Structures are given as structure tokens and as C-alpha cells.
Amino acid sequence: MSRRIEVALPFWLDRPDTEALDIAEAAKDAGLHGIWVGEMATYDAFALATAIGTRFGGMRLNIGPLPISVRNPAGLALGAGTVASLTGAEVNIAVGTSSPAIVAGWHDRPWSHGLARMRETIECLRPMLAGDRVGYDGKLLHSNGFRMRHPLPQARIGVGVFGPRMLRVASRHADELVLNLSTPERVAAVRGQADGYAAEAARAAPHLTVWVPVAVDPGPAALHQAAGQIAAYLAPPGYGEMFSDLGFGELVTTARSGTRRAELADAVPRELFEAIGAVGDPQQVTDRLRAYLDAGADTVAVVPTTADDPGGRAALRCAANILDQPISKEPRP
């Protein structure tokens, strides 16, 4: 499989929800064929993916990562099958553990046993997607008698990865790893570790996708938009430790002390955005995105800022330019 450039829909808190459709249209116009549709506090992911697939045909729809404590395997399978059936699109599904604030706070579900629940979710979901009648009896998950009417045997199961233990579980069981807000150096490290864990389990190395926030020639509005979103990720488990490793531990401590997001956003420096994103003029952005591919990512999913770039069109044009250029490493199979 060749390297890919895709788009991941952002959740900019200062923008209208319907901007998701503008970004999907811009991605289609730029010649990108894959889009990541997650879920936060706007639209249901499966409903939005159906709207995009119906409106912009030919887009590969990657749905998630969705929290495993909120969506059970049958619900995930039904959602993915519905989107594929109604749109005719290629559909992949990704899952993650999310955060206590979302799982326990928003949905009143227990945020616990993440590693075991992830393994069981994949074990239960895979035969469902294949069209088998499922009888699964795990320690945490149980499903008996369910069978999809619209199976998706080719769908990839991805996992949003944080921490070494989840990386090991995902590398041994999932088809795809999804990283967010990462440096190229972290991508390279994860690539090596994932390949090793997969080899130990005598299975193919998982596809590696990294979401990269992008701002082309950003003005103050775009930088503030990105800072506001980064601020929301400073405190949650996994993200906080990652930012601390990058040298922003004091900012993480401040976030975990209960400081309001608006105040945190004012304290997020451009250097943090540049560390985990692609920021600058078109050539700088293109070079940075290529660095993620050269580090071992199979797919780079661009998360465009839109405060001064409507629909993220400038960012997506920069990303699309890479499709016609050689990449220094050999494509992964």
C-alpha cells in the first residue's frame, strides 16, 4: 500500500459545526481521497460520515477513534456497515480509550480496564465486520447471536495509541495505529516498536497514521485557534505525559491544577504548535509533512486550521502537493 495524505476533520471550538462539510469539499477539490471523521461535541460520527459520503463520492471514510467504553462492538459494526451501505464508500473504523472527562463525565460510563477492553473490543469486532454470527464471551464484553447484514471484511480496525502498554496491545491486535499531536521523532519511535511487537506476534506490521495540525502562513487568529485546541489536550492522561516529554511539563501541571482552557490557550507558545504540527510558509509545511512520512508514517492526516484559511484549502493544497512527489523511504506493503 502506498503512502497516503488524508484530512482529519478538526473540532475547532470557535468555528461553526457545518464547517466540517466545507473541509470535506476542500479535501475533495484538492484531490485527497481519505477523510477522518471523529466525534466530540458536535455531530454523531456515523451520521456525519454518511452526509460526507453521500455529498462527496469517492472519499474513503475513516471513522473514529471512538471511545470503547461508550460504543460497544455491535454498535461500532452497525454504524460502520450503515455508512458503507448508504454511501458506497470504503469505510474503516478506529477506536480509543478517550478520557475520563468524556467517558465518565459526559456518558456516565466507567473509564477503566482500558487495555483489556481494547483487546476484547478488537477480538469481538473483527468477526462482526467479517460477517460472522458472533458468540463472544470475554471478561468485560459479551455478544451472542449478532450478525451484520452489510459486512465489511476489508475494513481496517485502528486504535488511537498512547503509552507503551496500549502500543503493544494495538500492535499485536489492530490493523492500524493512530497518533495525534506527535513529533516526527515520536512517529519513528512508534514505528520501530510497533514493527517489533507485530513480529513477536507473527503478524504483519500495522498501518501507521498520524494526525498533524497544519497552519499555512498563520496570522494571530490561526495561532490562537490552534492554541485553544492544544490547551484542551494538556491535562488528559497520555497527552499530558507526551507534552511533558517535549519540555512543556509546567504547562501540563498548570492544566491539571484546574486552570481554565481560555487561560491555558494564552499560555501555549507557538513552539509547542510547531513541535507537533506543520506551521509556516507552503514549502515549510510541505517539508514538515514529508518528515512524518519519512519517519515511518504510512498516512499523514492533515488537521487544517481555518481561522484565516476557509475550509483549510491552503493547508490541503500543500498536502496534496506531496502526492506527486517521491518519498525518501520505500512504501510499506
pLDDT tens digits, residue range 166-213? 999 999 999 999 999 999 999 999 999 999 999 999 999 999 999 999
Q: Which domains are assigned to the chain?
A: 4-217+276-324 (3.20.20.30)
Judge whether residue 331 has pLDDT over 60: no
How much is the pTM? 0.92
Q: What are phi and psi of 195, to 5 degrees?
A: -60, -40
pLDDT at 56 over 70: yes
Is residue 312 within 8 Å of residue 26, measured between CB atoms? yes
Q: Where are the alpha helices (DSSP H) in the chain?
A: 19-30, 45-55, 73-87, 100, 114-130, 164-173, 184-200, 220-232, 239-243, 249-256, 261-267, 270-276, 282-294, 313-321
1 pLDDT exceeds 50? no
Confidence at residue 117, expressed as pLDDT on a 0 to 100 scale: 95
At residue 67, the 3 state secondary structure works out as strand
The predicted structure's pLDDT at residue 131: 96
Is the bond into 65 cis (omega within 30 degrees of 0)? yes
